[in-house]
């Protein structure tokens, strides 16, 4: 017999909201810094692990930039995709849509697409071959990036050019406060016209107006975070009526101070209002979490039973940007595997 927590660890999962640069482990960062001769503020894994721990948004950006500065060659990019792929396999995550921020690499380090796209593509293929884990990409526009138009043009074009190599959506990341979605409409229109999906971050550090903007201007098909929809009942009704799912990252929300403690997180209230929720990890080592830990919050904190857990995990497949045939196949695989695992689930849990 297995407990509900063991069931969640063993169950097949999807990860729809995670940033590649935010998956890097402290030991790997150190290895990359040494081989690329990049100075980091600390020189041991323990110190870096401490430094990774979230303190505030300013510090978070500082860590993010340091990570970006350590990624210089195709091999570096391939390595981090491969390591995260191994981690996904360990947690039985079968499919991931991973966000990547091309303009940061191009402008912070002068690393161009020939280098990083070659690296992430090799990593993606290796992860599928070795672990059977599928990865697709969300390339995101960084809201607060300058020079603005040049970077937005660059990322949009790169995302369109990469559609044959796993890019499935255009995203919008960076600083939400002070950078509303509307000015990004033309790049999203361009990406959508080419056949990409729309998955902007909205409703994390800004409120419902940011989500409304993402829906109206960016035609969002899925929302990164989106949790602050809870502040506007009309918005929650709209999202559930139009089946626009939210990618919830509970621990990230606590670390960034969106909610003061996990007991005040609105995930369950959003679910009960009819919203389609998925659960994800965002930047796992930076928030000292994993996909499995986030999924376990569904029972430990949000008090969902096994049927609801299955529903929420299956939402990750049903609302992925896989093509319909592949999505249906993966969903059938998940349902079959869940049914098999259920036979050993301790019903006293």
- Point out which residues bind Zn ion (CB under 5 A): 282
Please answer whether residues 123 and 85 qualify as being in contact, where contact means their C-beta atoms are separated by less than 8 angstroms: yes
Q: Is 204 labeled as catalytic in the residue annotation?
A: yes
CB of 172 to Zn ion, least distance (A): 10
Q: Which of 268, 270, 279 is nearest to 316 (CA)?
A: 279
Q: Which residue is nearest to Zn ion (CB)?
A: 282
Query: Of 87, 204, 247, 294, which is the active-site residue?
Result: 204
CB of 6 to Zn ion, least distance (A): 28
- 296 to 10, 47, 271, 279, 309: CA distances (angstroms): 11, 28, 16, 10, 9
CB of 27 to Zn ion, least distance (A): 23
Tokens for 273, please give them. 């209002």
Is the Cβ of residue 21 or residue 310 nearer to Zn ion in the bound state? 21
Q: How far apart are CA 228 and CA 56, in angstroms?
A: 20
Beta sheet of 197-202, edge-to-edge order: 13-19, 93-100, 134-142, 167-173, 197-202, 223-225, 246-248, 277-279
Give, for 136, the enclosing helix (H) or strand (E). Answer: strand 134-142
Q: How far apart are CA 128 and CA 85, in angstroms?
A: 8
Q: How far apart are CA 146 and CA 207, in angstroms?
A: 24
Is the Cβ of residue 4 or residue 205 nearer to Zn ion in the bound state? 205
Q: How far apart are CA 120 and CA 166, in angstroms?
A: 10
CB of 128 to Zn ion, least distance (A): 24
Please answer whether residues 78 and 120 qualify as being in contact, where contact means their C-beta atoms are separated by less than 8 angstroms: yes
Furthest-apart CA pair in the chain: how many Å?
58
User: What are the catalytic residues?
Assistant: 204
């Amino acid at each position: 017999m297995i407990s509900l927590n063991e069931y969640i660890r063993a169950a097949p999962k999807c990860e729809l909201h995670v940033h590649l640069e935010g998956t890097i482990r402290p030991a790997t960062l150190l290895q990359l810094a040494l081989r690329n001769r990049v100075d980091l503020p600390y020189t041991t894994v323990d110190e870096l692990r401490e430094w990774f721990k979230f303190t505030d948004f300013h510090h978070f950006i500082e860590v993010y930039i340091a990570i970006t500065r350590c990624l210089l060659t195709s091999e570096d990019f391939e390595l981090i995709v491969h390591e995260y792929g191994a981690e996904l396999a360990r947690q039985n995550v079968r499919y991931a849509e991973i966000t990547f921020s091309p303009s940061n690499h191009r402008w912070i380090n002068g690393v161009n697409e020939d280098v990083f796209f070659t690296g992430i593509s090799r990593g993606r293929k290796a992860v599928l071959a070795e672990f059977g884990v599928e990865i697709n990409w969300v390339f995101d526009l960084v809201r607060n990036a300058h020079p603005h138009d040049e970077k937005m043009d660059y990322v949009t074009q790169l995302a369109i050019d990469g559609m044959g190599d796993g890019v499935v959506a255009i995203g919008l990341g960076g600083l939400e406060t002070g950078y509303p979605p509307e000015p990004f409409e033309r790049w999203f229109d361009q990406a959508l016209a080419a056949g990409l999906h729309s998955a902007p971050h909205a409703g994390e550090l800004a409120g419902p107006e940011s989500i409304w903007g993402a829906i109206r201007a960016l035609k969002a098909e899925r929302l990164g975070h989106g949790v602050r929809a809870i502040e506007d009942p009309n918005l929650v009704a709209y999202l559930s009526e139009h089946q626009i799912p939210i990618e919830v990252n509970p621990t990230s929300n606590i670390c960034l101070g969106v909610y003061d403690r996990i007991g005040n997180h609105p995930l369950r209230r959003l679910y009960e209002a009819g919203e389609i929720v998925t659960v994800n990890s965002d930047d796992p080592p930076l928030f000292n979490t994993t996909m499995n830990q986030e999924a376990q919050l569904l029972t430990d904190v949000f008090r969902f039973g096994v049927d609801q857990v299955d529903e929420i995990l299956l939402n990750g497949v049903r609302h992925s940007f896989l093509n319909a045939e592949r999505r249906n196949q993966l969903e059938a695989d998940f349902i079959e595997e869940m049914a098999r695992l259920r036979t050993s689930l301790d019903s006293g849990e």
